[in-house]
Chain A
Amino acid sequence: MVEMICLRGRAAVVLGVCLLLSCQQPPRCPGNLPVLGEKEMRGEDTLYHTVPDFEFINQDSMPVNAATFSGKAYVVDFFFISCPTICPKVMQQMLRVYQHFQEEPGIMFLSHTIDVRHDTIPRLKAYSEGLGVSSSKWHFVTGEESEIYGIADDYFSVAVKDNSAPGGFDHSGRLILVDSQRRIRSFCDGTDSESVDQFIRDIDCLLHEDH
């Protein structure tokens, strides 16, 4: 009888240790995330699509460029403050992703306004403060309209002026994951919370990848 209890006790300890260890393990990832976009073979090397240099300005009137995200992964989206359709829902999901990784130094956030005429720096500031997010981790940027629309293509997102669309702009509600080498590694539909759940798992996987 005593032996039985001991055995059970030991089993419980072993089980507990296993559980403890499994908590510290990285999330289950079936290998590295794919690199998205066109590939080009040059000799032995594979060249992947990367996001080109950019220069925008954030809610604190500070310049934001590739160096801002140096050595870090970041999540990108496109929005505008007066958007009457999908933006609030997409922003709610972006906020959920931000809150999930709030304490994770390896990931940052970048939201581009596509309505540069109305979404001035003070308005972007008020918006980010309304969301209660840190401006060192989540940049809300504006800049040259053509540069913003141009870089949306490089992120495989859509952002165009369209007077027939509600609010005057047509854009996709995608969230896009960029790695520290500026390669696109994952994206999701920001209006679909299940798609965002998977996206959060992808970010976890990226953060645990061996470089």
Chain B
Amino acid sequence: MKIISLLAGIGISFCFWMACAEPFSQGENLYMVSCASCHMEDGSGLGGVIPDLRERDIWQFGSEDLPCLIRWGSVIRVTDSLPKYPTVMPPHPSLTEVEIANILNFLQDRWGDPSRFYTPEDILRQLERCSVAMDAR
């Protein structure tokens, strides 16, 4: 009995430890697959050509607009206050709202505002808003 509760204890602490170590591991995996070839694994981007995600300034721009930026790419020019880069961010039509939420939660936690949290419903709402804007073009 003691051994079982000991094992359970170890199991539970292991789960906690895993959760603490990588709270957004799904988002991190998706980032590595969908974003890191341009923004680099460490988020450093490329000179003044591709944005450095570690710079806090990047995250000052409307967090509401980021789902649309990921889905449609930078053609959508969600905000004019973003600095201009000589490269264009490509669209990512195959990422679902759950995946975009995972990516953004990972990014906000690592380099942006860790208190900013997106649910898939938030993402869906914002995507609907910008698909109207895209249709109107």
Task: Decide: B90 and A88 in contact? CB cutoff 8 A.
Answer: no
Contact between chains at B86 and A130 (CB < 8 Å): yes
A84-B37 in contact (CB<8A)? yes
Interface residue range, chain B: 10 to 19
Q: Is A85 an interface residue (CB 8 A)?
A: yes
Contact indicator A81/B87 (Cβ below 8 Å): yes
Shortest distance from the beta carbon of B91 to any chain A beta carbon, whole Å: 10
Judge if A70 is at the interface, Cβ distance under 8 Å: no
Q: Provide a sorted-by-A list of 29 A–B residue pairs whose CB atoms are within 8 angstroms.
A: A81-B86, A81-B87, A82-B87, A82-B90, A84-B38, A84-B90, A85-B37, A88-B37, A88-B38, A88-B49, A88-B50, A89-B37, A89-B40, A91-B46, A92-B40, A92-B44, A92-B46, A95-B47, A123-B86, A127-B86, A129-B86, A130-B47, A130-B48, A130-B49, A130-B85, A131-B46, A131-B47, A131-B48, A132-B48
Question: In whole Å, how far is B16's beta carbon from the nearest beta carbon of chain A?
Answer: 35
Chain B residues lying within 8 Å of A91, measured Cβ to Cβ, are: 46, 49
Of the candidates A86, A88, A123, A129, which one forms a contact with B46 in the assembled complex, judged by CB atoms under 8 Å apart? Answer: A88
A13 within 8 A of B: no
**Interface of A (DSSP majority class):** helix
Task: Name the A residues within 8 Å of B46 (CB-CB).
Answer: 88, 91-92, 95, 131
- Hey, what's the 0/1 contact readout for A85-115 against B, CB within 8 Å counting as 1? 1101101100100000000000000000000
Q: In the complex, what residues of A have CB within 8 A of residue B48's CB?
A: 129-132
> What CA separation (Å) do A84 and B36 show in the bound complex?
10
Compute how far the CA of A12 lies from the CA of B38 in the bound complex, rounded to whole angstroms: 50
Confirm or deny: B88 has a beta carbon within 8 angstroms of a beta carbon on chain A.
Answer: yes
A86–B37 contact, CB under 8 A? yes
Residues of A within 8 A of B49 (CB): 88, 91, 127, 130-131
